[in-house]
Structures are given as structure tokens and as C-alpha cells.
Structure 1
Amino acid sequence: MKQNKIEFTLDLKKLLIIIVLVIGYSSFAQKGTIRGQVIDNFTDQPLEGVTVIFLTDSTIGTTTNAEGKFRLENLPIGRGSFGFSFLGYETATIANIDVTSGKEVSIDIRLTESYSNLNEVVVRSGPRKDQAINKLAAVSARQVSVEEITKYAGGRSDVARLASNFAGVSAPNDSRNDIVVRGNSPTGLLWRIDGIPVPSPNHFSTLGTTGSPVSALNPNVMGNSDFLTSAFPAEYGNALGGVFDINFRKGNTDKYEYTVGVGAMTGFEGVAEGPMGKDGSFMVAARYGLAGIVGGMGTGAIPNYSDLSFNLDFGKTKLGSFTLFGIAGNSTIDFNGEEDYDDGDLFSAPDENFEYASQFGMVGLRNTISLNDYSSIKTTIGGSFSGQDGQVDRIYDYGTPQANLLRFADIDNTETRLTLSSVYNAKFNNKFTFRSGVLLEQFNLSASVANRLDLPDNDGDGYPDYQQRISNDGGYTVFQPYAQGQYRLTESFTLNAGLHTQYFSLNEAFVAEPRASLTWQLAKAHSITFGYGLHHQNVPAPILFLNENVNGTDVQANKDLDLVRSNHYVLGYDLRPGTGWRAKIEAYYQDITNAAVDANSTGYSSLTEGSDFIFSFDELNLVSEGVGHNYGLELTVEKFLSNGWYSLATASLFEAKYEGSDGIERNSPFNNGYVFNVLGGKEFKVGKNGKNVLSIDSRFSTSGGRYYTPVDLAASQAVGYQILQDDLAFSEQYDPYLRLDLKIGMKINSSKRKVSHQFYVDFQNVTNNENVFIRQYNRLTNSVDQVDQIGFFPDFGYKIQF
């Protein structure tokens, strides 16, 4: 079944009956619980004796124990706010925490020491999710909450798709969750899980890419995380576009809890968590996908995918605390020619049989040990794995008596890496904090790609030649030492500065990258920030290890390409006009050099790679002489959830340009020009005591179309495969992208048991707008055809927590 051909009908009478029954199912006596840990914002040391108050009823309160942990029970069901105060620290208020009957709420709080008098308590009210968890990230950074991942309309419970709502991010492709940050290729994004860099954490991923149709990150195991779009702090390296720093949460240390659910895109899912040992905990979550069955992938083939995530906290020992965490994902899909295809299929063709499997996994063991009252060391040993295996058979002379089935492509890639990360944190006083560390990654890449893609018939057998395009079995090292600090010059001025260094063994390049940001708090509600960062990243592996046959020998001429270099400049202004509101405007400029371009005069640049499942196979003679630049203006206006409603509006105006070796400035394929998003939602208390919640959420998104290279139809017809007009590279633009989503959900808190139910229907692309997926040469129709993206699709889900 094809996504853009789904017919969906809804019996309104039955729906009204269901809603009436749900509203009548109200809650009477069931209470909720929150728990968590309070730590110092920089040293990660637990804070004992912090006062925790339920602000709606100040008689409900407690203090943290020696491990900084707290627990508040018998809380009324619904949203509540909580205050955290400690002598010598800025008081924090966490608002609108959703307390339910089915699951205890975990809140981890970081408190910042007061600037002036250590005996003075400075009150900072209101949520600050607009600020990153990492307080050394002062510009172009924000915190991502788990609730946002599951709440926003059209998000498919995918953290990568959530990011497309933020200023500076464009992702006008319903079939993939690539994150395009400020006009950079999605290959410029760095994924980290609990401090460990990882390959693309997605199902159906391919070598060198960072996105795919389906995420393998399970929101059930995630804690609040950071998303950075420019001028990153010194601890982040080997990235040009952005950083997604994912954190796993800990399991319940006091009680066993379970979650079971089913959804169109999330599939069947189950979570178990609870205490382990003296003061440790475990959490294990598994999912099995259903998207292919319900038609959410834009293809008639049925994809199979599953993932397993875990976080085992062994508690505190004499050698510090130990945590074992990891994730594993597996995905397969088979396209069987005419059986799975129609003219709206995004990925298959009637004359091809395609089998594909991918795997992703990572595991890490983290040790955190306190050296004294003001410093600690966090060391993590990890390993990750990413593999792809695929075979394509194509029917040549399709539909004729001469039809002949031949192997068209073979893919067998395996990337493994061993990682060692060690971070030293110290807070010497309330004005100066320091962080330094090393990150060592040892890669091993066994890659083999052979195909007939866009090749002539040199051997005279009547078919395109079959050629080995990538062949590699070896390793390389990335070594990244860094140091950074924060100095509070005055109560109004804060300086973050650091130095990141990087060694890349393939070309023996060593670079030093200064990073700095300055924040000026003009008044309580106004601040100005300036940031600068120098960043480098290696050219994607599929380009580095391309084969060129020279006198019968395969040569990898691109292996010695320089690291691509980018200078980031950011200027921002933040305004908090009232409690729960914020507005932010940022201007940025990025100057890119050392991009890989053809040694001959062409319009190719490595800055254009990463927009599809595959990379170029014919760029065999590259030099590091390409340039590019991105600049833009971004606006965010946000009302955090309070009084039952929230809203978010973002606008991005930008340009992304590059030059190939021909010296002509061209649009990047990621140069949409503009992106606008408007999101909003309202919660309604229903039932006799208002313990249940009906929610309505919506999202409107539009952006300029992506630039593409037109097809040379006559040349393509002559050879039987697509030939692009390279002299007109990325000179044409698809029509603007537009999409409207509407989500309706219900949360039911049991009146008698520790159980809660949640369900939703997410109507995606309500207007069934025909957004362009691609225009390409069709070898069967012998013409240039257009394929549209996924049309109207009703996502749904149900979850029970107990």
C-alpha cells in the first residue's frame, strides 16, 4: 500500500461515543510520585540537603539525601510545579511537570552556585529548557525534552524529526529524518550517546549518512538532551553542521515499573525498569516496527525493524559509580519488482529486486569518581557497530522477450569503532569552572560496494560493466584532546573559552580549533551572546575510499584529502518578556574551506553530498580546494507549557552557497532559503475530578524547495541511464514544501490502580499536499518523471503504564 494513496475514513458517531466514555472514566483517589537527583551544574557532585517543595501545596516537601536524591509522594494527578533551593545556589523552579497515576516522574536537577555572596539565595523562576544542559554551550543551543518528542504533532516519536521544528533546521523530506543545520550537509551532524560519538542511530542507514527513514532511538529510555547548531564548545569535534548530544535516563531506584504500547510508527514496544542492587537501577526497552504494515514508509515493500536499549546503573562503589548502557537495532527490507511497486513508490522500481539489511549497535561502560569536593573524572569505554548488506538484481530489456536478470549491485559494509573518553571537571570557585578531556576513536572499516550504476559497456556484452566502486579493509584513528572553562567576569558577563584539537591518521592532519562565547546579561529579561568556533571534519568515508582503476590496480586517490574547515560566527539576543515566554534572534555566518572538489574544472563539491542514501561514485580525482559559505537570520518565539497550552514559532532566512573547481558560485542542494514552523497545543482537563487530559496539538511547516541538477534527457535516452547537466548543477528548485499536521490525544489516570493509559491519532499532512520527492530520468518510460512525497497519513498509538 502506498502512502500517498491511503484512503482513510472516520465514523464521527463512533468517535463521539468513545470520547464520552473516556471522559466518564475519571480518577478519584490515585496519587502520583516524583523522584530524582540534584547535582552541581559543573562538577556533577550530588548536593545533600537541597529543599524540594511542591509549589501548589508547600506542606508537601522534602530534602535530598547524601546522594542528592529526593522523592515526593502523594501528589495530586495533573501538572504541577516544584522549587529547589540550597544555600549558596541559585534557586530553580521546574514548572508543569506531568504527574500521572501510572508512572513515577523522574526529574534530574542541576543547580548553579550563586555569583556573589555564598550565603545569598538568588531566585531564578521559570523553566529554562531554552538553555542547554551543558552550561558551556551558551550560543546556538537548546535543551530537548522527552515530552516534546512524544507530544508535537507530526513527529512520529522521532527525536531527529523533532529537531526540524527548531530555528536553523530544515528537513523537507517526509521519507527521511536527515537533519540539515543552517544549510550544511546532514553528514556534518555529530551524534553522541552519553558522551560517546556513534554512527547514524537509525534503521535502514547507509555508510557515511546520519539519517534514514526510521530512528532507532527509543524516547522511552531518553532523558533531556542537547541540540547545538553552531560554534560548539571545545568538547565537541569532527563536526561542521550540528551536534545532537543524547542522554539516557536512569531506571526507577525504588519500584518496578512497566510500559507496554503499540503505534503505527513506533510499533510494539515494552519497557521494564526498577531497583537493582543496593542503590542501583535497571531499564530495558524493546520495540518491533509496524510501519510497513500500515503504509507509513512510502513504499509497498514491508520493512522489518526492531531495537533494544538499556541502561544499568550499578550505584555508588568505592571506585565511584558505574553505568552500563547501550542500544542495538536491526532492519531488513525486500523489494520484489512489480509485486511491491506502483508509480507512487519512493524507493523501488518494477524492474528491480532489492534485498537490504542494516544493523546498528553501541555499548558503553561509564565510571564517575569524585576526586574531592570540587572535582571529578568521568571515563567511558565504548564500542559501536554499523553494518549494511544489500543485493540488487535488475531486469534488463524489461518487458521484452530479451528480458535478462543480472546482478546490478552488491553492498557489504561494516564499520566498527572503539572509543575512550575521559573528562575532568572542576569548579575552583563560584566564578571559575574548568573542563578538559580526551576522546580517542579507533575505526575499522570493511567496505565493499560493486555495481553497474551509470557505467558504459566497455566489455561489449551488451550491458553496463560491473565495477568495484569501494574496497577497503583497514583502520584509522581520530584523537581529540580539549580544554575549556567558564569564567564569570561579573554577575552580568560570562566568558566561555576553550581549545579543541584533532588528529586524523589517514592524512596525518593535526588541527587546533579555538572556541569562545561571551554572554552579557543586560537585565533580568535581556541578554546578548556572541560566539565563535573553528571546526574541522573529515570528508565522508564513501568519498575517501572510492576506487580508481589505474593499470589494473585499484587506487584510493581521495584518501589523503584534507579535513574540511569551517569558521562559525554567531550573534544572538534573548528576551524573556514574561514567565514561561521567551524570544530569541540569532544571526550567523559560516566560512567553509578545504572542501573536496574535482581537480578538473567542474561544479562538484563534497559539500553537496549526504542528501540521499548513496554518495557519488565517479568523483575519483579530488583536491581540497573547494569553498562555501552559509549565513542567515533566525527567530524563535516560544511559550512553554503553562495554563494548559503552549506554542512555538520559528523562522529561518538563510543562504547556503558553494564553489566547485570551476569557480562558479552555486546554490547548495540544502539552500531552501526559508523555513517557517508554527506549533501549538492545548490540554483540557476532563472527567469528574479533572484527572484525565484531552490534548489537541497542531503543526504547520513550510520551506523553500531544494535545489537540484536538471536531467539531460537526450543524453540519458541515448545511454539508458540518467545523465545530469553538470554545467547547470543545482540551478533549478523544487516547489515550496508545505505540510499541516493535527494530533488528538487522551491520557487516562486510573481511579483505583497505579495505571495510566495514553492514546493518540496524529493526522499527518492533513491537506494531502503533493510535496515533490524527486524528478529523475525513468529508464522504463524514457522520460523525466516526478515522484511525490508521502501524502496524508494517520499515525496512531496506545500506551499503558503501570
Structure 2
Amino acid sequence: MRKLIFLFVLVNSINTFAQTGVIRGTVLDKQSEKSIAGATIVLLSDPNKGTITDENGSFELKNVPLGRQTIQINYLGYESSTVPDIDLTAGKDFVISVYLIEKFDSLEEVVIVAEGNNKAKSINKLAAVSVRQFSPEEVNRYAGGRSDVARLASNFAGVSTSDDSRNDIVVRGNSPTGLLWRLEGIPIPSPNHFSTLGTTGSPVSALNPNLLSNSDFITSAFPAEYGNAIGGVFDLSLRKGNNKDYEYSVGVAAFPGAEVMAEGPLGKKGGSFLVAGRYGIVGVLGLAGTTAQPNYNDFSFNIDLGKSKWGNFSIFGIFGNSNIDLIGKDVELSNDDLFATRDEDSFVTSGFGVFGIKHTLDIGSKSYLKTVISSSTSVETFERDRYFNLETPTEFKIRWTEVDNTESRITFSTLFNSKISKKFTFRSGLLLESFTLENRLTDRDRQEDNNGDDLPDFVNLISNDGSYSIVQPYATGQFRFTEKLTLNAGLHGQYFSLNEEFVIEPRTSLTYAINNKSSINIGYGLHHQNVAAPLLFLNETIGDNLVQSNRNLDLVRSAHYVIGYDLRFANKWRTKFEIYYQAIDKAAVEKTPTGYSSLTEGADFGFSIDKNSLVSNGEGFNQGVEFTLEKFFSKGYNLLFTTSLFESKFKGSDNIERDSPFNNGYVINFLAGKEFIIGKAKKNVFSINTKFTTAGGRYYTPVDLPASIEAGYEIRDDSNAFSEQYDPYLRVDIKFGFKLNSSKKKSSHQFYVDFQNVTNNSNVFTRDYNRLTQEVNQIDQIGFQPDFGYRFQF
């Protein structure tokens, strides 16, 4: 604290003169997404400072004072829009896209002003319910976020994540496997380091938020263009690099690691490049929650080739690699390591890559065609050796588990969008995904000793060299019946080649504006998703043959019903209330009566390895109410309060209704931030952000201790599946930051220190059987932990 006070005094003593920055961007029609020429842009803090968009809809405001600014955009026949909370710093131009909505009646005299960066509204104009727009600035602002977009989403209503060791996203009680990651309009594999086949989360994100533009997070009743998901959708977009000036930044932070980023103009057609690389350092700092040294790095880029008569081409990609060696003898006998075990050595490698080419072609003045072709790969290897007679003269070790998975995907996506009139917008498209799988799993866990060596046999459980495809056509439209009443409606189709199943899914939402401050939203959507690949390709010995008896499982089906009320009761304030119900069926369960369901999978690194000959008879439901109170950043502070009360249940083949492992019951988040302008020139900023989170504990299946001791490995009491609940989760974070704008150069320094779990609360990580002590031990999550970050922009 003494160092912070000293730094505060030092910053205030800096003699600076007035610095200025640049706000640039593009103004577009919200429905056609075409640029608008001749729109006026005014800086509200200085109405004499303004400009007009050129023939490409582009504008540039120069000599804008640094700090938080607001601009207003006007164009005849369109609703005016304001963009507040523009955080202008030295060394970085602020680039933004602003969407205007054509007035329903061009002769009306009432002026409606919408906030251009209102996070309550979506980037996708057809997403009207259960959607939240978020910005990269939010990802970096909030306390405890580790610059991770998934951890940012955990603050939104309907999202639960009470595991500090992973960034899995539980949406309204659904398994994390129900989440769809999309980048630039195409589905992508889990964009995380140390990820495994079929999962969507991991300990460390590989997404660099500094390359993202504003994006959407949708929790229910998705529009018709989204498919093969029943939980939620992360619809991410990459920002373009600065096409006017070269800009650079270097930084270091505990979890994202060391980073270098560069951007600038490319070619003579308005193109740009944006590239960034990061290298993880958390292991060196001893903050990884394990005695081992995690290694990870990632590289991201977005290259825009500019506009030509052939349209606009861009190339993008993300690549990540990670590995860790977990050596058992480095672990204390108490086994309080989150990932390592005393009597095992484990060696983990993983990697993923996404490479895509995007083409956008204007068709007439109100339509466009966007096509994306991409290739992605996800690779995972895992080797585990088990020690026997540990630390005795007869100690020996054997290979226990081997995993070698490679999933490759070729994706083709095309989307046609047309603004037929100011009242009707039409969109249709097609998504083709071709998967190639090379999966190997050989394990001794829970296997019989058939060769008489007093050890479980090393059995091949998955051996797959195959392929499958998913085809998803869709068509949807937005109908503005009146100024107050808007309907979004469409159909989504999905074909899954493994079981040759084709389904049609209706999607619809209705929005009624009661007045200019409040609205009611109603949504419905039918959604399907294939069972996770690790279950589909499990081998079962039938006779003398290995058979993949789960290959023909049906697509899991989920019907979403949502009703919400949105109220903007004061300037920059918003409150939202939503009620939802989700009915799930066709989940995978066992033939014999048990409490197992595929709906319980997906919150760890692996899946069940002993669930064969499953049938699609499982059911479940999620229901709840959500409340959001948000004060968007203005007057130096922001606030976000969300609470969710929900219930998540499922039935196995025994037809007994049970609590889902994701049924926390409640989640409460409170986040607040305050900025203080400091320094003689009033251009530097000292900020404080805090976060409070509490949630009900997750349900789990207790260990059958006598059976585990007799078998020598952990056996859960499946007759009481998910009958016990961990203690409630509670965590408080507080973050201090400085932003210093140089007085002599176009550069800035930003740094922060983030104290996570400042109360050092002991949140439960797991209760597992310890083979060495023959007891059920509780392992707690990481207690108090500091984080830090520094960035230099120039």
C-alpha cells in the first residue's frame, strides 16, 4: 500500500501539457450493414468539433482531448445515436463502428436517441432476447478477470462458474459442452490452452482480448443462424488494425503472459494488419495452483486486404500451444495440488489452430454476401504413469493411460443479408463442417486383470480414424410491424452424418416497446446438439470385436422459452428481468436403470470411459429467474449487479429426478469501478475496481469409501448420484490501476495490481478418494492470489 501511495504522489507530480487523440470509425445502416455517407459526427464536450462521413462511411475526429469522451451521430431519416464512454489514450487511436436504424416513419418529428454502445443491445440485429454485448475494454477492466472473455461472461445473469481452476461456462444450468464458440461467423474448437476433446473450457484462455471487437454472448433462444448448441453462444469478432497509423504495444501480466502487438496500414486500398503474440509466465511466478511448470503461448492475427471491385478480403487466425509435466513426487503427501497426484507422473500437451479467409461482396445498395472458408485443428496428448509400492524398495511404475487425439475441421460458411425495406430485413445462409478424427485412448483405469499379472489390463477404449459432417442451412427475417413491435423469426436445419438425422428448428422472438424507456421481449427456440465425441466413439467389446456402440445416438434436443422486461429508468441506468424454462430430451443414458446422463458430462478434462451401449432416452430441464441492474460507465464510475435463481434437474434411465451437477441454485455478482482523474493536466487516471461473487455449491456424487478401498481406485456411490452439495462459493477481488499518458510522445503506460480472493476464503475444489491415505480428502481452490499487468502503447 505504501508503494501505491508513493506512485500516486509521483503521478500527480508529473508536469504534463494537454495531449490529444483521434477518434475514427465507420457509420453503417443497422439492417443492411452498408456504409452511410454524409452522416455528421459531433464531439459533445465540444460541439464545435465535428466531421462528416465520406463516401465509404468513414470519419475521423482529430485533436480530441484525452480521457472519456462522447460523440453523437446524425443522418437524415435515421434515429440519432450517441456513443459514450470512449476511453481515449495517448499512443492509440480509438476506432469504432456505429450502426444507425432508419426511422420507421421518415416524416416523424420525434427525435429518438439510442446509445451506440449500449451493452443491452446485440451486435447481431436478429438477437433480441437473452443477449449481452461486451467489449474488450470490459474484459480488461473488471477485477479477477485474468483478461479472459469467458471469466468476464461469468458476471452476466444466467452464468455460473464457481471453479477458479477452469473457465468453463455454465449457462442456465446446462453443461459447458452445450456452449458454442464462434469466431468471425464460423464455429471453432475450444480457444483455450490445455483443452481436451469435447470440452469448451480450461485453466487458461488463448483468446487475446486486445484483438477482439465488441461481440455478443447469448444465453438462450438463439437466432436461426446459430446451431449445434443447447447452452449458450459466444459470437466473437476480430477488430481491424489501424489503417492510418502504425501502433505498437508491449505488455506483461501474470496469466496472459508477456505480449507484443503491432498494427498499421497495409496496401493502397485501405487495408490493415493486426498481429499479436503472447508467452505464458504464470508458472515462473508460482501462481498456477500446481507445483508443475505450465508452458503456453499463442499467436493471433487479422489482415484486412481492403476493398476492391471483387469485394473485401481478409485473413485471420489464432494458434496456441501448451504443455505441462506433472511429477507426482513433487507433490506433498497431503495431495493439495489441484492437478497433480502423489503416485502419478502425467505429461500433457495440447494445441489448436484456426485459419480463415473471409470475403464480403456488396450486392446492390442494400444487400451483401459474406463467405468464410476456414481450417481448424485441435490436438491433445496425455500420458500417465502410475507408481506402485511408492517409496519402498519394491517401488515400480507402469504406463497407466495414453491419449492421442487430433480433430481437424474444414468449414464453409456463406451468409446473404438484404434490407428489403425499412420494415423487413432478410438473412439466409449455409454452414458446412467436415470433421476428421484420429482418436486413441488406452487405459488401465477400472479394467479387469485378464492376463494374470496382478495389474489391470492396458485396454484400448477408443480407436477411431473416421470422419463425419454437419450441415446447417437457415433462413430468418426481421419484421418491424410498427415502431414499437418487432418480430424476428426463422428456421434452422441441422444434419448430422453419423446417425443421418436431420432436424428443423423454429426460432422466434417478439419485442414490444412499451415506451421509449421500457420493452417486453418474448423468445422461443428449438435447439439440437450431438453428444460429445469422446462418448460417441467409445469402444465396447462385443464377442471378439471392438464396437462403437454409441455412434448412432440421437441429437440431444432442448426447447427454450424466455420472457423478459427491460427498463432504462434513468440516464445510463438499465435494469432487466428474465424468466426462462428449457425442456431437454434425447440425452444419452444407460440401458439398465441407473442415474447416469450425458447431461452431467463436460465440467472436467475428461469424459466417462465406461458408458457403452447408451440410448437416447434421457430427460432434463432448466428453469429460473434473472435480474440485472447496470450503470454504464459515466461520471467516472460503473456498476453491475446480477443475480440468478435457478434449478437444473435431470433423469437417468432409472427415471429418478436428480439435481444436475451444475445446479448451484443461485449466483450473485456485484461489480463496481471508479476512475479518478489525476495529474496537473488532468489526463492521467487512477482506477479502483472490485467484484463480489457468491454462489451455491455444486452437487456431486459421494465416494463409496469401502468399495474404493477394496478396488484400489475411486468408486462413486452411483445409487446416490449428485445427492450431496459442496459448501457455497464466495470470493472478493479488488483491482487498482493507473493509466499514464505521456507528455512528450504519442504513448501511454497502463498497469494494475489485482488482489484476488482477498478474504482468502476456502472454496471447495473437490472431494476425492486418496489411494495413498485411503481416505476421502477435500482439496480447496486457490486462496488469496495477486495478479498484475503492465502495458506500454506507442
- Partner of 1:573 in structure 2? 565
- Partner of 2:476 in structure 1? 484
Structure 2 residue matching 1:428: 3-state secondary structure: strand
- Partner of 1:319 in structure 2? 310
Q: What amino acid is the match of 1:143?
A: Q
- Partner of 1:606 in structure 2? 598
Between stretches 65-74 and 527-536, larger displacement belongs to 65-74
Out of 45, 56, 69, which is 1:56 matched to?
45
- Partner of 1:548 in structure 2? 540
Alignment of 1:442 onto 2:431: no
Alignment root-mean-square deviation, CA: 1.1
CA distance in 2, matches of 1:483, 1:106: 32
Q: Deviations over 1:105-153 (max 9, x none)?
A: 1111111111111686843243411111101000000101111100000
CA distance in 2, matches of 1:759, 1:511: 51
Q: Is the 8 A contact 1:88 1:121 kept in 2?
A: no
Tell me the CA shift for residue 659 of structure 1.
Answer: 0.2
CA distance in 1, matches of 2:604, 2:186: 25
Q: Is the 8 A contact 1:438 1:480 kept in 2?
A: yes
Out of 268, 288, 296, which is 1:297 matched to?
288
Structure 1 residue matching 2:521: 3-state secondary structure: strand
Q: What amino acid is the match of 2:39?
A: V
Question: Against the structure 1 CA distance between its residues 345 and 579, is the aligned structure 2 distance closer, same or farther, given a 3 Å change threshold?
Answer: same
Tell me the CA shift for residue 771 of structure 1.
Answer: 0.2
- Partner of 2:582 in structure 1? 590
Within 5 A, what are the aligned runs for 1:616-765?
616-765=608-757
Within 5 A, what are the aligned runs for 1:780-791?
780-791=772-783
Out of 79, 92, 99, which is 2:68 matched to?
79
Tell me the CA shift for residue 319 of structure 1.
Answer: 0.8
Q: Is the 8 A contact 1:30 1:753 kept in 2?
A: no
CA distance in 2, matches of 1:471, 1:87: 64
Structure 2 residue matching 1:610: 3-state secondary structure: coil
Out of 50, 53, 56, which is 1:67 matched to?
56
- Partner of 1:230 in structure 2? 220
Structure 1 residue matching 2:709: 3-state secondary structure: helix
Structure 1 residue matching 2:593: 3-state secondary structure: coil
- Partner of 1:38 in structure 2? 27
CA distance in 1, matches of 2:250, 2:650: 48
Q: Is the 8 A contact 2:625 2:645 kept in 1?
A: yes
- Partner of 2:9 in structure 1? 20
CA distance in 2, matches of 1:632, 1:26: 55
CA distance in 2, matches of 1:168, 1:436: 29
Within 5 A, what are the aligned runs for 1:362-511?
362-511=354-503
Out of 244, 262, 277, which is 1:286 matched to?
277
Within 5 A, what are the aligned runs for 1:129-168?
129-168=119-158
Q: Deviations over 1:474-493 (max 9, x none)?
A: 11010000000000111110
Q: Is the 8 A contact 1:152 1:697 kept in 2?
A: yes
Tell me the CA shift for residue 47 of structure 1.
Answer: 1.2
TM-score, with length taken from structure 1:
0.98
Tell me the CA shift for residue 228 of structure 1.
Answer: 0.1
Structure 2 residue matching 1:471: 3-state secondary structure: strand
CA distance in 2, matches of 1:317, 1:752: 39
Q: What amino acid is the match of 2:301?
A: F
- Partner of 2:763 in structure 1? 771
CA distance in 1, matches of 2:760, 2:459: 42
Q: Is the 8 A contact 1:341 1:348 kept in 2?
A: no
Q: Is the 8 A contact 1:26 1:690 kept in 2?
A: no
- Partner of 1:4 in structure 2? none
Structure 2 residue matching 1:745: 3-state secondary structure: strand
Alignment of 1:329 onto 2:320: yes
- Partner of 1:172 in structure 2? 162
Q: Deviations over 1:527-569 (max 9, x none)?
A: 0000000000000000000010122321000000000000000
Structure 1 residue matching 2:36: 3-state secondary structure: coil
- Partner of 2:99 in structure 1? 110
Tell me the CA shift for residue 354 of structure 1.
Answer: 1.0
Q: What amino acid is the match of 1:637?
A: L
Q: Is the 8 A contact 1:392 1:410 kept in 2?
A: yes
User: Structure 2, unaligned stretches of length 5 or more?
Assistant: none
Q: What amino acid is the match of 1:443?
A: F
CA distance in 2, matches of 1:482, 1:650: 33
Structure 2 residue matching 1:147: 3-state secondary structure: helix
Q: Deviations over 1:599-618 (max 9, x none)?
A: 11100000000011100000
Q: Deviations over 1:456-507 (max 9, x none)?
A: 3232211122111111111101000000000011111000000000000000
Question: Against the structure 1 CA distance between its residues 118 and 499, is the aligned structure 2 distance closer, same or farther, given a 3 Å change threshold?
Answer: farther
Structure 2 residue matching 1:22: 3-state secondary structure: helix
- Partner of 1:99 in structure 2? 88
Structure 1 residue matching 2:210: 3-state secondary structure: helix
Structure 1 residue matching 2:288: 3-state secondary structure: coil
CA distance in 1, matches of 2:404, 2:72: 54
Question: Against the structure 1 CA distance between its residues 26 and 641, is the aligned structure 2 distance closer, same or farther, given a 3 Å change threshold?
Answer: farther
- Partner of 2:504 in structure 1? 512
Out of 226, 240, 252, which is 1:250 matched to?
240
- Partner of 1:88 in structure 2? 77
Q: What amino acid is the match of 2:19?
A: Q
CA distance in 2, matches of 1:125, 1:606: 44
Q: Is the 8 A contact 1:300 1:341 kept in 2?
A: no
CA distance in 1, matches of 2:15, 2:588: 62
CA distance in 1, matches of 2:313, 2:14: 44
Q: Is the 8 A contact 1:87 1:119 kept in 2?
A: no
Q: What amino acid is the match of 1:636?
A: T
Q: Deviations over 1:255-302 (max 9, x none)?
A: 000010001111100110000001100000110011111122210101
Sequence identity percentage: 59
Tell me the CA shift for residue 793 of structure 1.
Answer: 0.6
Q: What amino acid is the match of 1:332?
A: N
Out of 154, 177, 181, which is 1:191 matched to?
181
Q: Is the 8 A contact 1:454 1:722 kept in 2?
A: no
Q: What amino acid is the match of 2:303?
A: L
Alignment of 1:29 onto 2:18: yes
Q: Is the 8 A contact 2:319 2:354 kept in 1?
A: yes
CA distance in 1, matches of 2:769, 2:3: 47
State the structure with bigger RCO (CA 8 A, min sep 6), 1 or 2: 1
CA distance in 1, matches of 2:47, 2:424: 35
Q: What amino acid is the match of 2:8?
A: I
Q: Is the 8 A contact 2:79 2:114 kept in 1?
A: no
Structure 1 residue matching 2:527: 3-state secondary structure: strand
Tell me the CA shift for residue 13 of structure 1.
Answer: 3.0
Residues matched between the structures, number: 791
Question: Against the structure 1 CA distance between its residues 438 and 122, is the aligned structure 2 distance closer, same or farther, given a 3 Å change threshold?
Answer: farther
- Partner of 1:306 in structure 2? 297
User: Structure 1, unaligned stretches of length 5 or more?
Assistant: 1-11
- Partner of 1:8 in structure 2? none
Q: Is the 8 A contact 1:26 1:750 kept in 2?
A: no
Q: What amino acid is the match of 1:335?
A: L
Structure 1 residue matching 2:514: 3-state secondary structure: strand
CA distance in 1, matches of 2:331, 2:364: 63
CA distance in 1, matches of 2:608, 2:121: 39
Out of 513, 521, 531, which is 1:529 matched to?
521
CA distance in 2, matches of 1:789, 1:107: 40
CA distance in 1, matches of 2:780, 2:15: 45
Q: Deviations over 1:149-168 (max 9, x none)?
A: 00000000000000000000
Q: What amino acid is the match of 1:221?
A: L
